[in-house]
């Protein structure tokens, strides 16, 4: 078995591991509000999220194609057909992204799997071939989407909560909470579905990128086995749950009531699904946390625990450069062995 095939097999294994980790790392965000308001018991919420993540993952492929081609052209990394540089870059990026995800999950920090993966791909590619290797058109579009989506989520969350306050201001508080608690079952399902349509595709894109770099396919089409295996990995990861991150997102940013949770779920789901439709990978962590902040601001600015929010934002800012550096170092180490 030649070296390229061995590395490609390792990429597939670690890509599925990344998707599995993403399942319990990021899906916690999708169900955090419904668990914190007791709209759903944790076990039921996790099971619901696992099913909806799987369904979302097998429905779309646009984001996978963007990951496969828009950051780096995998073929441009190889000097000759039997060159292993492209596959080593992808393997280094995966190992870096997995390491960062596990570290932030261990400490209960809702960092972005999207940021760490994209930063890792860029860092490993730059280490291999310099800055010229980046596809600046596609890469800048992805970065713009990552930067703008939290601000859009903040604004949409503020708007949704303002509308709910206006529409239900004269309703009985008990009946309103009970109604929104029921609504949250559906918004949590929608949130998990949209998470699957965007986040699960990132591993699909990585595997497709590796297959192209290895010369096993020539276009950016996503094979059925790639879609199904990534969807299963995401669903299984989700079934494990991410209770540390649920605690941070669901309670430490602000005190969440059913009406807040429903508003935040609808706001973030609309932004994530909109990004999926235009084939942009976004950070579900950023979007969901920002939507909660927007909802909290519409109700009472001082009700948002901005100290916790600042720590989350700081993690967002450092994730991409740290991941890029880790991936570059990992590439140099792997290059010694392969």
CA distance 81 to 84: 9
Q: Cβ distance 205 to 211 under 8 Å?
A: no
Ramachandran class of 130: left when φ > 0, alpha when ψ lies in -120 to 50, beta otherwise: left
pLDDT at 250: 45
CA distance 252 to 164: 23
pTM of the model: 0.84
Q: Cβ distance 53 to 238 under 8 Å?
A: yes
DSSP sequence for 161-209: HHHHHHHSTTS-HHHHHHHHHHHHHHHHHHHHHHHHHHTHHHHHHHHHH
* Closest CA relative to residue 64, chosen from 238, 237, 265, 212: 212
Query: Total structural domains in the chain?
Result: 1
* Closest CA relative to residue 117, chosen from 278, 246, 262, 283: 283
Helix ranges (H only) for 37-84 are: 42-57, 62-69
Cβ neighbours for 189, distance < 8 A, ≥ 6 positions apart: 48, 52
* Closest CA relative to residue 53, chosen from 161, 214, 198, 184: 198
pLDDT at 251: 47
For the stretch 329-334, contacts whose Cβ atoms lie closer than 8 Å and that sit 24 or more positions apart, written own/partner, are: 330/92, 330/95, 330/96, 330/124, 331/88, 331/89, 331/92, 331/123, 331/124, 331/127, 331/128, 332/127, 334/88, 334/91, 334/92, 334/95
CB atoms within 10 A of CB 169: 8
pLDDT at 45: 80
Q: How many residues does the chain have?
A: 338
pLDDT at 110: 62
Q: Which two tokens stand for residue 287?
A: 């979007």
15: containing domain = 3-337
Report which DSSP code applies to 249.
Answer: I
CA distance 90 to 121: 7
Q: Which two tokens stand for residue 40?
A: 């759903």
Token pair 């076990």 is found at 43
pLDDT at 271: 94
Cα 59 to Cα 14, 198, 268, 278: the distances in Å are: 22, 10, 19, 14
Rg of the chain (C-alpha set)? 20
pLDDT digit string (tens) for the chain, length 338 residues: 588 889 999 999 999 999 888 777 666 667 777 777 778 887 788 788 888 888 988 888 888 888 888 888 877 877 666 778 889 999 999 999 999 988 887 776 667 788 899 999 999 999 998 999 988 888 888 888 888 888 899 999 999 999 988 888 777 766 777 888 888 889 889 988 998 888 888 899 999 999 988 888 888 888 999 999 998 998 888 777 555 555 555 445 456 778 888 888 899 999 999 999 998 888 887 888 888 888 888 877 666 666 666 776 777 788 899 999 999 999 999 988 87
Q: Cβ distance 151 to 290 under 8 Å?
A: yes
CA atoms within 13 Å, Cβ hemisphere of 132: 3
pLDDT at 84: 85
């Amino acid at each position: 078995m030649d070296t390229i095939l061995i590395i490609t097999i390792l990429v597939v294994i670690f890509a599925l591991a990344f998707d599995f980790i993403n399942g319990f790392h990021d899906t916690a965000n999708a169900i955090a509000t419904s668990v914190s308001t007791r709209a759903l018991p944790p076990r039921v919420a996790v099971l619901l999220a696992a099913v909806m993540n799987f369904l979302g993952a097998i429905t779309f492929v646009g984001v996978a194609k963007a990951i496969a081609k828009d950051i780096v052209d995998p073929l441009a990394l190889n000097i000759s057909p039997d060159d292993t540089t492209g596959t080593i870059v992808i393997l280094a990026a995966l190992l870096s992204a997995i390491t960062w995800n596990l570290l932030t999950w261990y400490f209960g920090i809702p960092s972005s799997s999207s940021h760490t993966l994209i930063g890792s791909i860029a860092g490993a590619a730059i280490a291999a071939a310099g800055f010229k290797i980046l596809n600046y058109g596609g890469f800048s579009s992805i970065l713009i989407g990552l930067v703008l989506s939290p601000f859009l989520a903040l604004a949409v969350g503020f708007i949704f909560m303002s509308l709910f306050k206006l529409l239900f201001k004269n309703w009985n508080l008990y009946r309103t909470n009970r109604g929104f608690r029921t609504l949250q079952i559906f918004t949590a399902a929608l949130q998990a579905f949209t998470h699957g349509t965007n986040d699960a595709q990132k591993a699909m894109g990585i595997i497709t990128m590796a297959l192209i770099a290895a010369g096993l396919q020539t276009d950016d089409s996503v094979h059925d086995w790639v879609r199904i295996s990534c969807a299963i990995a995401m669903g299984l990861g989700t079934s494990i749950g991410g209770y540390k991150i649920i605690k941070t997102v669901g309670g430490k940013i602000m005190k969440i009531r059913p009406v807040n949770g429903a508003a935040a779920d609808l706001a973030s789901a609309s932004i994530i699904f909109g990004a999926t439709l235009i084939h942009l990978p976004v950070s579900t962590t950023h979007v969901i946390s920002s939507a909660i902040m927007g909802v909290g601001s519409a109700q009472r600015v001082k009700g948002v625990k901005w100290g916790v929010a600042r720590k989350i934002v700081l993690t967002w800012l450092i994730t991409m450069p740290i991941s890029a550096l880790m991936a570059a170092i990992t590439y140099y180490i792997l290059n010694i062995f392969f």
